Amino acid sequence: MSTFSIHDHGLLIKRWSPACASDDITSRRRSVVQALELIQTVVRPLVLEITLGPMDAETFAVTPAESRRVASRGIPAGVASQSALSPAGPLEVVDSLTADAVTRALTPEQSNWDVATISALTTAAYTVADTLQLEQTPSATVPIVEMDDVRWAVGPIDLPGVRLIPPIGIRWRQEWGDLQLAVEAFWSPWWETSSAEYAALRAAEKALDDAGFRVNV
């Protein structure tokens, strides 16, 4: 049985969307879906929380005015998906977070609105471990599911006294019409340099770079 620890800060990868994504909201939505496809070998969102609001026509700044959540059906027991907002926005449950489901969730009803932030509240992260046990709570094991014949650790873990942090966090924020993606490994197997999980995360980083995601704007 493999053990691991949870940290408030871990291995952080930041990338700006390809330059073409700043053209319009359709391009920005497309860049989010593209990023998810590129990193899906190591991390997949199971619950997304999205804030949207009006975009200033001159500065392109978005003021969050409403939020929504979309969740994949069948999240295992023992996993948390606590909203970061109060009150939480409405929740839509879908069979899986396909490109169409994500695109729909990112589409505002108002023509002059755009996405402000996107956060993955719950994620599944690729693992080679059969079981994962939290160091500080030896009796607690992480829910592990199989998707595409690969094992995935799912979190955050819903346990008293345990920080509600997923194995790998995914979030976007918009700045003046540009989207910045942050992928951060909070659980130790994904930032320990000798692990297969770390290698998979670095491979996803390279895939982003090869697709034109930018380190700097």
Q: What is the pLDDT of residues 44-75, one digit of tens each?
A: 999 999 999 999 988 889 999 999 999 999 89
Question: Residue 6's pLDDT is what?
Answer: 92
What pLDDT is attached to residue 169? 97
Q: Phi and psi at residue 27, in whole multiples of 5°?
A: -65, -35
In whole angstroms, how far apart are CA 23 and each of 30, 48, 164, 177? 11, 24, 36, 8
d(CA 91, CA 47) in angstroms, rounded, equals: 9
Alpha-carbon distance values, 63 to 23, 86, 166 (Å): 19, 17, 27
Residue 124 is predicted with a pLDDT of 98
Q: Is 70 exceeded by the pLDDT of residue 22?
A: yes
Cα–Cα distance measured from residue 204 to residue 209, given in angstroms and rounded to the nearest whole number: 9
List phi, psi (to 5°) of 188. Answer: -60, -35
> For the chain, what are the domain ranges?
2-210
The token pair at 23 is 């053209």
Which amino acid, 146? E
Q: What is the DSSP letter of 157?
A: B
Reported as type and span, the H/E element at residue 204 is: helix 196-210
Percent of the chain with pLDDT over 70: 99
pLDDT at 217 over 80: no
